[in-house]
Amino acid sequence: MSVHEPVNFGFPSRRKFCTDACRLLSAAAAGTLLNGCGGGGSPTGPTGGSGSALPVVNGVLANGIVTVTIDANSPLAAAGGMALVEASGNPLLVARTGQDTFTAHTAICTHQTCTISGFSNQLFVCPCHGSEFDTNGMVVRGPAAIPLRAYSTQFANGTLTITG
Does 62 lie in the same domain as 32?
no
Does 74 lie in the same domain as 14?
no
Per-residue pLDDT at 20: 54
Q: Is residue 68 part of a domain?
A: yes
Task: Indicate if the pLDDT at residue 95 is higher than 70.
Answer: yes
> Domain count of the chain?
2
The length of the chain, given as a count of residues: 164
Phi, psi torsion values for 85, nearest 5 degrees: -95, 125
Range 30-55 average pLDDT: 49
Q: What angle do CA 130, 49, 125 make, to 5 degrees?
A: 50
Residue 30 banded pLDDT, cuts 50, 70, 90? very low
User: Rounded to an integer, what distance in angstroms lies between the CA atom of residue 91 and that of residue 18?
Assistant: 50
Per-residue pLDDT at 11: 45
Does 62 lie in the same domain as 35?
no
Beta bridge partners of 86: 58, 91
Write the burial class of residue 20 (CB in 10 Å: 0-12 exposed, 13-18 middle, 19+ buried).
exposed
Q: Is residue 5 part of a domain?
A: no
The closest alpha carbon to 124, from 49, 43, 44, 42, belongs to 49
Instruction: Return the biggest CA–CA distance within the chain.
Output: 96
For 149, the domain range is 52-163
Q: Kindly give the residue spans of alpha helices, DSSP state H, lying in 54-155.
A: none
